[in-house]
Structure 1
């Protein structure tokens, strides 16, 4: 297993602003074979119903532990709230409906990109698929929903053979009107 460094480049209370930033970054990235991954903490039956409508086969287990209910054992997730939900390798068009379904519940949506292309005028070489990701944390400041908040954070994952590439984080932040503030989280891939 490898890791990437996820740099927070925009934090905002306006979810539509965060989504606009994600769209801008996706327009800059190579996404030909891209896919999206989801994880979150669902606390209410209404949010659960909306999320399951968007992602009917998602994996889940009770936040209290799998022994208190899980998809593996065929339990009803509505009887086990709050639940952790996971779904991997979905088409890119599933991201925004999932985000819209969340309401106040925290989640992370990670776009697995083909590459961050080279930007010669900024002195940036291409970053391969192995380290090209973009994550939006909704109602949470961190990738793992450990810091619930009423705002949303866009994280860019960048790494090359020389390690974390601060220049790319700053450049990507500039493209969305954000600012890289130095906050970086380790993200297992």
Structure 2
């Protein structure tokens, strides 16, 4: 297993603005065969119900540990709140409904893209699927929801090698963002 370097490039208190920026970045990317992954900690039955409507067959486990309840064991999630949601490989059209469903809950939505494109005028080569990711953290500043906040952050993943800073800056420029200097390691 390897890690990507996830650079924060856009922070806003306006969720609609963050979603519009994600749409712009997705329009830049090669989304052929792309998927989306979800992560959140759900505390209330209302949020759980909305998330289950968006992600039938949701994968989850109790915050206290799987021995206190999990989808794998066939337990009822509403009886095990709070729960951690880790759901992978969903179609792209599930992302925005999930974002609406989580409301004020801290969550991360990661788009697993096919590639970032070649950009000859910026001297950027194609970035393959291995390092072509985009994450939106909702109500959190970090990838893992350790820093709940009232704002939302877009992270662009790279391999961290020479030249990847140019890619991050170029993508940030597409959405009026900038590199914040914050880079997190993310398993891929």
TM-score (ref. length: structure 2) = 0.97
Give the structure 1 partner of residue 117 of structure 2: 117
> 1:164 & 1:4 partners in 2: Cα distance?
14
Displacement, 1:164?
6.7
Task: Confirm or deny: 8 A CA contact 2:107 2:137 kept in the other structure.
Answer: yes
Q: Provide the aligned C-alpha RMSD in A.
A: 1.1
Task: Confirm or deny: 8 A CA contact 2:52 2:58 kept in the other structure.
Answer: yes
Aligned residues: 188
Give the structure 1 partner of residue 76 of structure 2: 76
Q: Which residues of structure 2 form unaligned runs of 5+?
A: none
> 2:74 & 2:58 partners in 1: Cα distance?
12
Within-5 A mapping of 1:38-117: 38-117=38-117
Q: Which residues of structure 1 form unaligned runs of 5+?
A: none
Give the structure 1 partner of residue 184 of structure 2: 185
Task: Confirm or deny: 8 A CA contact 2:9 2:178 kept in the other structure.
Answer: yes
Q: Cα distance 1:164–1:55, how it changes in 2: closer, same or farther (>3 A)?
A: farther
> 1:159 & 1:70 partners in 2: Cα distance?
33
> 1:146 & 1:163 partners in 2: Cα distance?
29
> 1:50 & 1:163 partners in 2: Cα distance?
42
Deviations 1:86-139 (A, max 9, x none): 111111101000011001111111000010001111111110011000000011
Within-5 A mapping of 1:18-57: 18-57=18-57
Displacement, 1:68?
1.3
Whether 1:126 and 2:126 are equivalent positions in the alignment is yes
Deviations 1:27-74 (A, max 9, x none): 000001111111111111000000000001111011111111111222
Runs (4+) of structure 1 exceeding 4 A deviation are none
Displacement, 1:159?
2.0
Give the structure 2 partner of residue 168 of structure 1: 167
Give the structure 1 partner of residue 136 of structure 2: 136
> 1:143 & 1:164 partners in 2: Cα distance?
23
